[in-house]
Amino acid sequence: MKRLDGKVALISGTARGQGRAAALRFAAEGALVVGGDLLHEQAIETQHLIAREGGTALTPGPLDVTDEQSVSSWVEEAVDAFGGIDIVYANAGAVRFGPVDSRPYQDFAFTMRAELDSVWLTVRSAWPHLRRSHGCILTVGSTAGLTGSLTNRRTAHSASKGAVIALTRQLAAEGAPHGIRANCISPGLIDTAGSRTNLLSDDHPMRAIARHIPLGRVGGPDDVVNAAVFLASDEAAYITGANLVVDGGWSAVLPGTSP
Ligand SMILES: NC(=O)c1ccc[n+]([C@@H]2O[C@H](COP(=O)([O-])OP(=O)(O)OC[C@H]3O[C@@H](n4cnc5c(N)ncnc54)[C@H](O)[C@@H]3O)[C@@H](O)[C@H]2O)c1
């Protein structure tokens, strides 16, 4: 028996990066994956990759997780196709970095909407179905929600991801009476298409800071997805309200060299 056999998993941001890796892995673990992304064609590619491996996936249409109607249609398509929802993995996000004194308010609002409102909208739409299935929620925070950074100026991102961690704890509280678990995964620096456009671009100073990751490397999508599979599976039946940091020790250990 696979670890997610027969579970219907709604995963946002499946066009690339951690979302694509999650879709592929959840399907390989036996889940019926309902994906979605603004980049619809690439999300369909993910669906084809899953089908090629013998898995089951559906990508109903272009998804905008910041749009209430789009999210609600996505959830309804999932329920129509598979009869319910067991796992919600609110992974999609987009960010605008920049120092507090030189960025327009629109950048702050964009980031909050893409990284925080999106999670709330997704969970709110799926909630009645999660109540029925006694399902589980995975949110994606960040070490940015736990620590400040001298190198990466990111007030909006820190605020949105800190709020996702707090939101998850509240969802754990409100979900517990219904048998719904809610946990957050907070990645550190992960090599994806998204991070290559900013923090991991060739000339970004964060590349040098990454030398201080105690486990000696930048993470990959599978590092995050391994944690996600565990938290979504019955192995985590007694875990809710957690924030599992997946960062190679980056946020826990001060920079330095061993003697
Ligand atoms: N990569 C990192 O270093 C890192 C670190 C910490 C947290 N995270 C978080 O992990 C999650 C996944 O990030 P990633 O690195 O895979 O990024 P990515 O940019 O490679 O992938 C994000 C996906 O989300 C989609 N998306 C963005 N806005 C959307 C919207 N409004 N509606 C639907 N889809 C939308 C994008 O099109 C893209 O396919 C995000 O929540 C991100 O904040 C990433």
Whether residue 259 is contained in a domain is answered as: no
Residue 85's pLDDT is 98
Whether residue 3 is contained in a domain is answered as: no
C-alpha–C-alpha distance, residues 203 and 80, integer Å? 47
Q: What size, in residues, is the chain? A: 259
Distance in Å, CA 256 to ligand 1 centroid: 30
Ligand 1 atom nearest 141 alpha carbon: 7
Ligand 1 atom nearest 16 alpha carbon: 39
Taking CA atoms only, the protein residue closest to ligand 1 atom 32 is 64
Whether residue 1 is contained in a domain is answered as: no
Whether residue 231 is contained in a domain is answered as: yes
Whether residue 221 is contained in a domain is answered as: yes
How many Cβ atoms are within 10 Å of 31's Cβ, its own excluded? 31
Q: What is the pLDDT of residues 174-229, one digit of tens each?
A: 999 999 999 999 999 999 999 999 999 989 988 888 889 999 999 999 999 999 99
Residue 150's pLDDT is 93
Q: Which residues line ligand 1 (CB under 6 A)?
A: 12-13, 15-19, 37-39, 63-66, 91-94, 114-115, 140, 142, 187, 189-190, 192-195
Distance in Å, CA 257 to ligand 1 centroid: 32
Distance in Å, CA 258 to ligand 1 centroid: 34
Which residue range is the domain that position 129 belongs to? 8-246
- What is the domain count for the chain? 1
Ligand 1, residues 11, 12, 16: which to mutate, most atoms within 8 A of Cβ?
16
Whether residue 13 is contained in a domain is answered as: yes
Whether residue 201 is contained in a domain is answered as: yes
DSSP-assigned beta bridge partners for residue 89:
11, 138
Distance in Å, CA 142 to ligand 1 centroid: 11
DSSP-assigned beta bridge partners for residue 12:
36
**Residues in the chain, pLDDT under 70:** none
b/e 169-187 (16+ beta carbons within 10 angstroms → b) = eebbeebeeeebbbbbbbb
Residue 60's pLDDT is 97
pTM of the predicted model as reported, rounded to 2 decimal places: 0.98
Whether residue 116 is contained in a domain is answered as: yes
Phi, psi of 83 (to 5 degrees): 85, 0
Taking CA atoms only, the protein residue closest to ligand 1 atom 41 is 93
Taking CA atoms only, the protein residue closest to ligand 1 atom 21 is 17
CATH number, domain containing residue 67: 3.40.50.720
Residue 209's pLDDT is 85
